[in-house]
Amino acid sequence: MSTRQPPGPATAVGGDGVTFARAGEAGPAPASRHLTPWRPVFFGAVVLAILAGTGWALLGSSLLVVRHVAVTGNRLVTAAQVRQEAGIKPGTPLATVNGGAVAARVERLAPVLSAAVSRSWPDGIVITAMVLRQLPAEVRTRLRWVSAASASAVTLHLAGRVTVLWGGLGRAAQKSAELTLLLRTHARYYDISDPGTAVTQG
């Protein structure tokens, strides 16, 4: 005759001799899950591939290269003269164009007071030239530099941290006349991009 062992504290024996876990008692702990070691390597490879692809698109591919150089504001010089002085070779990766260096070369042209260079993705460069005759004498003496987010968003930076949003290069005579009057208010910001509705602040 076989001797039946008494059940342990975490088990019970049914009438048919089947041992089962008591209610409320924890069974054996499941095997701990381990992160697969290849996942960090995989995600790292994906990030590197994205960075490499971005770098190739900006610097190595023929998709984002200079094909067009637009010139605006060149009333006293020709567009050909500006392009020649700018020295931007077709096929140059757009991301590598040094706008400051290009502007400095264009400013060597005698009639050009200041120049601004902006990228026009995916394949263009815009050179905006500000010539002497477009600005009032008071502005020319106070001008420090010119910036342009685009050909229609030229901004003049004057001495004393005064900013003038000139806008596009059209209606230069009207803008000059209005700016001459507005400067008497000694504001810090002038928006004359639309001469009919000029705005001052500060």
Show me where the domains of the chain are located.
40-124, 135-202
CATH of region 135-202 = 3.40.50.11690
* Contact yes or no for 108/87 (Cβ under 8 A): no
Average of per-residue pLDDT across 61-74: 85
pLDDT score of 171? 86
Per-residue pLDDT reduced to its tens digit, 6-17: 555 545 545 555
pLDDT score of 91? 92
pTM: 0.52
Mean pLDDT across the chain: 79
Contacts of 167 (CB under 8 A, 6+ apart): 152, 153, 154, 175, 192, 193, 194
What torsion, rounded to 10 degrees, do the Cα atoms 48, 59, 145, 115 define? -160
Q: Which residues pair with 106 in a beta bridge?
A: none
